[in-house]
Structure 1
């Protein structure tokens, strides 16, 4: 049986002719070729007509274009291979020139395409050869069809060569090209689709960002809740430890009084008290000297403010009206700064102002409270000033809460 192909003994590639074998040898440096009865595979895409010479090539075409149907025309294209070496091109030209039978050979020329579409494709970055080939095979219908053709056939071996057609084919009336209005409309449609796609992508990204903001917000709320819970437990444990310490201190004082009483009776020569008449108190349980497992933390800003207000009321407990006026004035200062942080007039207080001195300045603890809110003495102590960048809304909120409690709680500072 005559051979149908040449097979490369180095890589197993099937080749249709001696010319292909020579070209393969030049590209790969392979020199071991044998005649094979296996025909070169010829799978033709039913959708676009692209021939594929191997299963791998057809799979790549399917992956790139989505075309899945191929017609197997291997048997139609199979023919016995000629092992004669091709004649040099110069010899062929001489034979054609001397042989009158080839004088009637059809002339091949570059087909005519829409020049305006060709210029637009070249402006988009495509070479003249690719643009001409795409316009010719897509029928000169428009930019989009030509661009799609280039994408689908970008791996064709002759993609960068000008297409050639016979004069007869060239003389056929070309398909009418689009008018400038139709081209403009097509461009508008392409731009509109691109705009809509961009808007959809931006909406999707915005949804993702919103989900991320919600997630971060939930995490922050949970972290704040855990911190508040730990703070509440710490305060409860601290108060319990204070009560136990107070209880032990009272028991020590009572025991010391009993010992002093017994010592005085002994010095006066009096007999000890009758145990039956006075029931001795049970000795206090031994106090184990151990370190508290509760971590010691510095007083919070709110605790410092509360202590400052308590001292202010204790220092002026004989004048409740003056203390209440001071509390209300401090509350007004904190509220004005919290609601209008950009107003400098609310963040600057002249210490020599008679009204300020009468209401707050002359009361011990008033200026200290404002300093806890963030106010600083400037210009040699003439003014109290709170810089804009140091305005802490949380601290001012705590100050307002403590002042509200001091104003409304009749027992504040009594105990």
Structure 2
């Protein structure tokens, strides 16, 4: 069987033509070439028509463009390797007559007339179309167009190819390995340079994209951390203010009780101490807090305060309600995909005893994201689960449970 490709004995690379073998030899210094019966792959992208000759080229093309559908046209473009002899004009033993004789023996190769006419109708010059059909050895218009695209920067792309007159009708002569190497050097060198330039360009674009994404992530992380710090500061300040108000009220209550006891014992009231003028309130620059968590936190705090004041005679029952709601919120925060934690039966006896019967219990759960359905359930849809909101609710419940002055006012 005739050879369909040239294989480099040093690196096992398959080359389609003698020209490619010559370029490969110049680039690598390899000189051990032999004919192979295995054709070079011709995997054509069905989306853009890009031909790929190896699996590696196919993978790179898919990575760059996203195209993954390829047609294997290896059998259509495979042709026997032909080692043509290159006539040398003006040799030392030839005169002007010999040169004229050699020139007269060079003719334009015969190509498929229909394919040539179709390429010309597409706007390609005759010389370029003839050259493409000749060097691809095929009458396939698509293959010829791909060859033109790949070699459009060749300096001789618009020169009519010439072959010895006898090559169209008889067996072509063979070149020595040295001549075959010299013939292929330029094309392979140009192809390698083009590939290296493309790889450098793609690497620069990838590096720019990595830098941009890194900056965006860093900025987003900084903003998130800043907002979290400001939210914690505002939350602690609110707790401190509430504790101060509770202490003041307790102090006033103690003074009233003391005055009542003196009155019952018939003792004169104590001289009231002159009230110290309260220092004028200083305006503090309020830190920026995300609007939604801050407003929700205030609503939750007011709801819990109202619940405790409405049932202040039974502190144990209020504390049990807070702990039960904290359990509901914690289960949803830890298992947002579990439907059983996002669904509460309103008629459940335990729920009614601990939460549902208390004024404000159901309202607090609704502030956390639970919604009443048409039946007898409180449901939190999966797309309504807000981790930040649940964390805020948990903080408010912990404060209400652990702060002895919570809800005194």
TM-score by length of 1: 0.44
The structure with the larger Rg is: 1
